[in-house]
Amino acid sequence: DAKTTQPTSMDCAEGRAANLPCNHSTISGNEYVYWYRQIHSQGPQYIIHGLKNNETNEMASLIITEDRKSSTLILPHATLRDTAVYYCIALTYNQGGKLIFGQGTELSVKP
């Protein structure tokens, strides 16, 4: 699976959009980009995933560049409850679809 690179930490003001970048320059054509988040002392929560096209759901939007070498997770109106560690993972199902977590981005939403 391709390695992903994320900033260690980010701050965001409550009510503003949080834009979390992820670099996956070695991603292969059959690898999906998955985003999860982990709130302190809980299990990871699925947010969104995509292959080529931009995706949107009730939680967030995922913007994938045309060359697929990077992506951005957008939380449109961040709240204090969005404070968490956000993980960007490139996943292929060839090896059973297991998720390998990197260090993620610690997002702090501030009032």
The residue within the footprint of other proteins, chosen from 8, 29, 42, 81 (CB under 8 A), is: 42
Nearest-angstrom CA–CA distance, 13 and 5: 23
Distance, CA of 13 to chain centre: 19
Letters for 5-24 (x = contact with other proteins by CB under 8 A, - = none) are --------------------
Question: Alpha-carbon torsion 92, 2, 65, 12, what sign?
Answer: positive
Nearest-angstrom CA–CA distance, 85 and 6: 11
Residues touching other proteins, count (CB under 8 A): 22
User: Counting contacts by CB under 8 A, is residue 26 touching other proteins?
Assistant: no
The residue within the footprint of other proteins, chosen from 10, 44, 72, 74 (CB under 8 A), is: 44
Single out the residue of 36, 70, 33, 30 nearest to residue 49, CA to CA.
33
User: Counting contacts by CB under 8 A, is residue 111 touching other proteins?
Assistant: no
Distance, CA of 93 to chain centre: 18
Residue number, 97 or 111, with CB nearest to other proteins: 97
User: Counting contacts by CB under 8 A, is residue 50 touching other proteins?
Assistant: no
User: Counting contacts by CB under 8 A, is residue 29 touching other proteins?
Assistant: no
